[in-house]
Amino acid sequence: MPRKVVEEFKFDHCPNCGSTHRLAGDAAEGAKKRGFFEKDAEVAIIELRKAMIDLRRISTVLSGSTLPQARCAIDMCTKCGTIYGYLADVCDVPIEELMAEMGPPPGLRGLPDFLGRGG
């Protein structure tokens, strides 16, 4: 089950100078031509994600269900240096995808990797 966008906010220009040139966004254009990204991929210097659940309760979520996740893509204007969030959204994300993004639960972090998690 893919993530489903519930709400999306786009800020397509710098709030300080109005330029549409961004550091990672412009740098990614060449990489897209070489096939390193999909043509419509959003590329940012920083991408923040926050699942809308207290991690201590994640074991109570049924397999196959979804949770809301807020996401913000941050880049830098190459005309004036302003760092700003140019894309934000809220998605319904399958719990399995969220758990893969977050890694092992807090109690299992730091254990030797004999559990077959790869790495």
Helix (H) or strand (E) holding 29: helix 23-33
* Stretch near Zn ion under the rule CB under 5 A, chosen from 30-38, 56-64, 68-76, 79-87: 79-87
Nearer to Zn ion, 19 or 65 (CB): 19
Give the C-alpha distances (Å, rounded to integers) separating 71 from 35, 75, 119: 25, 13, 25
Q: What minimum distance in Å lies between the beta carbon of 85 and Zn ion? A: 13
Three-class SS of residue 46?
A: strand
Residue 13 in the binding site for Zn ion (CB under 5 A): no
Among 46, 52, 80, 102, binds Zn ion (CB under 5 A): 80
- Residue type for position 83: I
d(CA 32, CA 82): 24
Q: What minimum distance in Å lies between the beta carbon of 72 and Zn ion? A: 18
List of residues contacting Zn ion (CB under 5 A): 14, 16-17, 19, 77, 79-80, 82
